[in-house]
A and B are shown apart, each in its own frame.
Chain A
Amino acid sequence: MLRNLLPQFLLLIVLVSVFLGLMSRETLAHLLGQESGALGVLIAAVIGSVALIPGPIAYPLAGMLFEQGVPYTVLAVFITTLMMVGVITFPVEKEYLGTQTAVLRNLLSFVGALLVGMIMGVLL
């Protein structure tokens, strides 16, 4: 089992490190803070899905965005997709769940994140 998993995990670690290296906080803040409305939500969802930022970095970033006026909806969507949808984690995920199930899980989580965001936008 480890034979299959190990290369995937290593690949994952490499990709995350590269991503972290390329994306400074300023870049992310710029991307997410820019638009408002539906487009902003969508951008946040996509970035959250692709990104793999550890919590201790993601939350301060979100806090910063909030201070810059990014609405709760966008932040909620960003954090939820960040945690639940993983384009970069996908190779590992498909080893466990199988390609179809993994795709379905990610898609549903993406939609779920949007739903969470919308509900939060209404509640807050």
Chain B
Amino acid sequence: MARNFYEFSVKMIMLVPFIFVLIGILDVWVPKEAIQKHIGEESGIKGVFYVVLLAFFQGGPLYVAFPVAHLLWKKGCSIRNVFVYIGSFSALKVPMVMFEISFLGWKFSLVRAAVSLPVFLVIAEILARYVRGRELPMSRM
């Protein structure tokens, strides 16, 4: 038990600050206009695609998604695309895909991703509508 704790903590302690540093760098370097143009409110299908792609390449568990989502939001990403990004976390992620295929097979992995994506896209849309009138705490961060 102690070994589990130690290994996991070490991994997390290395990962979390790294993510925050990365986000800090992106925050400074990525212009708001670029984000807004590609995945902002007006971007439509392409925006959704980009955001799913971003989640696809992202490593790590869900709670790392939130700081990144916050960055996206700050830079003008549409709220629905922020939710699409979070929602894509269960679908396909490069680091996890290898594991999933090795242990559960091609068929399972592909079908699960193909089914999860639309379901969570719908959820993202529902969440976006729900949130539209409200202010999110992360706006104030």
Contact = CB atoms under 8 A, between A and B. Distances in A.
A4 B116 CA distance: 32
Interface residues of B, number: 50
B127 interface: yes
A75 B108 contact: yes
Interface stretch (B31-39, B45-53, B86-94): B86-94
Contacts of B28: none
Interface SS, A side: helix
Interface residues of A, number: 51
Contact of B123 (A17, A83, A108): A108
Interface in A15-71: 16-18, 20-22, 52, 54-56, 59-60, 62-63, 66
A18 B141 CA distance: 30
B134 A98 contact: yes
Contacts of B96: 55, 59
Given A20-B4, A92-B63, A62 B112 contact: no
B56 interface: no
Interface string B107-141: 11001100110011011001100110010111001
A57 to B, nearest CB: 9
Interface string A81-124: 00110100100111111101100110011001101100110011
Nearest to B73: A96
Contacts of B5: 17-18, 20-21
A81 to B, nearest CB: 9
Q: Which of A60, A86, A109 has most chain B Cβ within 10 Å?
A: A109
A93 B130 CA distance: 17
B123 A124 contact: no
B2 interface: yes
B90 A80 contact: yes
B134 A120 contact: no
Contact of A96 (B93, B100, B127, B137): B137
B137 A62 contact: no
B77 to A, nearest CB: 14
Nearest to A55: B96
Interface in B15-40: 16, 20
11 contacts: A13-B8, A13-B16, A20-B5, A21-B1, A59-B100, A84-B89, A86-B62, A95-B66, A96-B138, A104-B130, A116-B119
Given A16-B12, A76-B108, A124-B107, 4 more contacts: A17-B5, A55-B99, A112-B123, A115-B119
